[in-house]
Structures are given as structure tokens and as C-alpha cells.
Amino acid sequence: MSSAIFYASSTGNTEEIANKIIEKLGNIDSYNISNNQEDVKKIATYDKLILATSTWGDGDLQDDWDESWDNFKEIDFSNKIVALVGLGDQESYDDTFVNSLGTMYEQVISQGGKVIGFTSKEGYEFEESTALKDNQFVGLVIDEDNQSDLTDERIDNWIEKIKEEIL
């Protein structure tokens, strides 16, 4: 069964991270819902998924995810393995850091999905995040604004965790 990554990007950062993940994983389909929001419906056709989003404003989903959220909420994630990626700015938005990741996690779980790839909150400085469960982030967390020097290492470590289950 093939795997796919679905992402949306307003500034290009999420797209850049998605491309790094694709390059490291190899044989994985890719959908940029910023180009076609109808692609969100294709999530239902995959059993193994990576979903990537950034957080905007006061903890909101990226615009393209937000606009396709009604379609996303209709997806049955039963028997699907899902890895999540969230981008955020821990300094400017320390009270809503990567909250969109938490929003996505809650929806996937509520629809029966199995989420893999939790990561440590160590090395980040923030006040609050809905993306924390049992003192870990529910996915890979990237802060390109303040810690871009750690991005490649974080991606590599996360991919080592998920690749057996996601490919």
C-alpha cells in the first residue's frame, strides 16, 4: 500500500519541510492542497499518511487546511496510520505554539486514526500548546523562524521513528 504526504503552505516553509521529508523517505506520493483543496478528499484513499500544517494567528490552521476542514472532518481514519508535522513560531506565539497540530491530531483520533511519531518537547521554549499529549508533541515540530539550524536533525530523527510504519 502506498503512502502519501498532504501539506499546505502559505510562505513556503511547510512545502520546504514536506519536500525534505519526501526526499528522505523516497517512494511517497505528495499533495499540496494549496494548489488544489479537492486533494484533501484523496486522503481517504491512503492507509499511511503524513499530514503537515503550520499554525497561524491565535493557533489557527493554515488557510488552505481551514478552507478544506469540512471535507477533512468527513474522512474515516479507521485503519490508517498517520504521522503529523507542525510548523510554528515558539517566540512570537508561545501561548498557541503549533496548536494546529493539536487540532489535526484531535480530528484524526476522533475518526479512528492511529497517530505515530510523537516527539519530545525538549529544546523548545513556549508557554502552551494543544499539540502536547502526555508531555510529548503529537508529531514532528519545526520552528523555521527561530530554530532552522535544528530542522534537518529533527526531520532525520523523526523519520527514523516512523519509517517502518509509514512506508
The pLDDT value given to residue 111: 98
* Domains, the chain, with CATH or none: 3-166 (3.40.50.360)
Residue 161 has pLDDT above 80, yes or no: yes
Look at residues 85, 73, 24, 16 and name the one whose alpha carbon lies nearest to residue 49.
85
Packing angle, helices 151-166 and 13-25, rounded to 10: 50
Percent helix, percent strand, percent coil in the chain, to nearest 5: 40, 25, 40
Residue 118 has pLDDT above 80, yes or no: yes
Residue 71 has pLDDT above 90, yes or no: yes
The pLDDT value given to residue 37: 84
Residue 119: how many CA atoms within 13 Å on its side-chain side? 26
pTM of this structure: 0.97
pLDDT, average across residues 95-115: 98
pLDDT, average across residues 61-88: 97
d(CA 139, CA 118): 5
The pLDDT value given to residue 1: 58
For the segment 34-60, what is each residue's pLDDT rounded down to a tens digit?
988 889 999 999 999 999 999 999 999
pLDDT, average across residues 101-109: 98
